[in-house]
Chains A and B, each alone.
Chain A
Amino acid sequence: MKNRIRVLRAEREMTQEKLAELIGVTRNTIISLEKGKYYPSLKLAYRIVDVFGVGIDDVFTYEREIDGPEAGDDL
């Protein structure tokens, strides 16, 4: 799963702190999301796209894995 949170945030000149405040998470979560280390829940994903005012496909891109992903493999 890839995301464009960093790009969209930079386009809007928004700090990580501000984005975290708007979507109700900690700044560490924003850092993890931007690095692609943490996959958000559907609810959080929709909160993020709401803040940016774009569609979910404009923020998150699902990349099919060769072996197929396993549930709970990643945070």
Chain B
Amino acid sequence: MKRAVYLVCILLTVSLVAAMVGWAIAAGALLVPVIAIPLAVVVILACRQQVKGVMSDERAMRIKSKASLRTIEVLLVLGVIGVVVFSSYAFSTPLAPTISGKVTVNDDGTRSLSMAISRGGNTGMPGEVISSITIRNIDAMNETEAAAYAAFWQEGLRQYNESAIVARTILYCLITLIATFGAFYLYYARKY
């Protein structure tokens, strides 16, 4: 078997397994991945044994080592920048959305509530209104108004919350990357 054929075999096997696992999880057949994944590993290893010639040598290993190291360095720098930028959006007060509201007593004695969430910024000017709501009688809020009230908070703070989630996700990825690299570094430092 030629190397190109082997690579096609890997691609087909991985695609098939990915489709099966995806379907199995959606269908709740959790036994399928348990069988399909080890079977795919066996198929790939069997294909690998059929390949004639050298699959990898010291030059390929050195190229992979250098590429991996550069990847880690670039990802770390970009990751730190990403965490700082998204954290700034998520946690800094000047960039946070401004929430304003007032309660008005109506002519019939009921109380109404008007609220608005505006985009944050440090311009000193009132920001663009992201979301606003008026509830005519806050003491007798109906189901529709309650749903609208919940949507008001969700939509108004979506961008703010998403920034926090992105920052946290990148941070966890960086921690995982550093921890994995550190573990392998220690392993190979002891080995050589």
Asked if A25 CB lies within 8 Å of chain B CBs, one says yes
B48-60 CB mask vs A (1 if < 8 Å, else 0) is 0000011011111
**Residues of B in contact, count (CB < 8 Å):** 10
- Residues of A contacting B57 with CB < 8 Å? 24-26, 29
Assess the A25–B66 pair: CB atoms within 8 A: no
Assess the B54–A38 pair: CB atoms within 8 A: no
Asked if B190 CB lies within 8 Å of chain A CBs, one says no
Assess the A25–B63 pair: CB atoms within 8 A: no
Closest Cβ of chain A: how far from B146's Cβ, in Å?
Answer: 65
Assess the B54–A44 pair: CB atoms within 8 A: no
- Residues of B contacting A29 with CB < 8 Å? 57-60
**Residues of A in contact, count (CB < 8 Å):** 14
- Residues of B contacting A75 with CB < 8 Å? 59, 62-63, 66
The one of A24, A26, A40 in contact with B60, judged by C-beta atoms closer than 8 angstroms, is A26
Closest Cβ of chain A: how far from B59's Cβ, in Å?
Answer: 4
Assess the A28–B54 pair: CB atoms within 8 A: no
Known: A75-B63, A75-B66. A40 touches B53 (CB 8 A): no
**Bound complex: CA A68 to CA B84 (Å):** 40
